[in-house]
Structure 1
């Protein structure tokens, strides 16, 4: 999984949450990426465009936090 954008809390906090849930965090979107957490899921940033090209889901940080809670 990959994070992009300013999510209100430092990226390190989000990465630590993901790692605690057993998820591998990458720096960039590749074909092996399974989820992109984007501060603005509707943006067409480079990471978001690449995720769309690869069919990778893009979610808002609040949705990701809910996924972790569930």
Structure 2
């Protein structure tokens, strides 16, 4: 999952496994495997970097790893 921001400023979390491709037109469009398109505030390179980090993390964390409690609700 990666954190992104809709054009209206709403943050959301996207399952990076569902991304088919990312393009700049000039806004950043993310096309999902089901054909849906999402427009986000982040630049294309930022989205790609977050997807790469996501894939690196999912292979490096041991089974049962839990995110530390940050106190956020």
Q: TM-score scaled by structure 1?
A: 0.26
By relative contact order (CA 8 Å, sep 6+), the higher-ranking structure is 1
Higher Cα Rg: structure 1 or 2?
2
Decide which structure has greater strand share: 2
Q: TM-score scaled by structure 2?
A: 0.25
